[in-house]
Chains A and B, each alone.
Chain A
């Protein structure tokens, strides 16, 4: 968000099951050295490694039945 104070630590919300939630904007460096960016107010980073839009969460962590 454009008006978020820059003088406090960036908050990351963690969950055992689900993505990391990071306050945006973010720039993510991937293994091959390339970078991707998102300027959303909050960004969901995949931790299950199943996302087809990695590093962004696409809800692939959900249980299937």
Chain B
């Protein structure tokens, strides 16, 4: 079957509506005033930015690939990025050094209260499905935003970054690519593995976490921030993945669902070491002036992940869906599926 490009998402306000219409050739781009009026972390601005970035990944059905380098669209994207970056710089805590910024991440809280703790201890299958649907925005293109940094690094940092990316891409085996393992997890959870399928369902907090990677990945000037972001993801992933694997086991989500997180416990324990010692270490040996950017990348990632966690936990603790459009019910209740297999 021929590959079909994703459908453009539904608009969430004048910015995302204007971008969508421009891409389809049916309307003008939003004005600078519209950009200035939209909240930086809100649904409308984050979706408009997400759509601009997605042109560099898989594009959209009915949208010409040439529009990826449309100067007017790039000018608008820059204005959206400026709003996002300004908000991030204002809200991200400042650390004196990269060591300080990472030290907090390297201590494991005894009484953690994050999303993975919640899901491990009392997550229900519907919440695991919602979590996977939201995370699919990134995991179905896992490692892609970070690949853009490779030409902007050299020497030890480049070699180490390429090695980690090679591992993310399955070490040359498509069936072991992490994006493929995540699709297998989604199948276990009776979710649709089509790329972009859950974009309409994703809250602004989710879009912001993915936009951050694209922002850092696409700008050479933010290569230090990209590396700081990547280190944060790899450092926090291993213990978080262990908790999520336990959640999948406890709820009987399925073997592929468990495997995705089990693999990340082990892989990211290695990646963390390589990224800290060789990617960050190598980059700062060559370009020590980038240390504040690395710190910013760490802090911005923590900030946006905390905002997402607050949103998810707020909804789930109140018994509400965390998605903008609820999922269709699980077709295979766990007990039945166990019986069949």
Contacts and interface: CB of A to CB of B under 8 A. Distances in A.
Partners in one complex: yes
A10 to B, nearest CB: 15
Interface in B90-137: 106-110
Interface band, chain A: 20 to 34
A61 B108 CA distance: 10
Q: Is the interface of A mostly helix, strand, loop or mixed?
A: loop
Given A42-B163, A62-B106, A57 B242 contact: no
Nearest to A46: B269
Given A42-B163, A44-B269, A58 B238 contact: yes
Interface in A1-36: 1-2, 13, 18-19, 21
A13 B273 CA distance: 10
Contacts of A63: 106-108
A57 B273 CA distance: 11
Contact of B110 (A40, A52, A57, A64): A64
Given A52-B242, A58-B238, A62-B107, A42 B274 contact: yes
B167 A41 contact: yes
Contacts of A18: 273
B155 interface: no
A2 to B, nearest CB: 8
B107 A53 contact: no
Given A18-B273, A39-B171, A41-B171, A58 B163 contact: no
Residue in B107, B110, B166, B265 whose Cβ sees the most chain A Cβ within 10 Å: B265
B163 A59 contact: no
A39 B270 CA distance: 12
B30 interface: no
A62 B274 contact: no
Contacts of A42: 163, 270, 273-274
A60 to B, nearest CB: 8
Given A52-B242, A58-B265, A59-B269, A41 B107 contact: no
**Which 7 residue pairs of A and B lie closest in terms of their CB atoms, listed nearest first?**
A57-B269, A59-B238, A44-B270, A62-B108, A41-B163, A64-B108, A65-B107
Interface of B: 106-110, 163, 166-167, 171-172, 238-239, 242, 265-267, 269-270, 272-274, 277
Interface of A: 1-2, 13, 18-19, 21, 38-44, 52-53, 56-59, 62-65
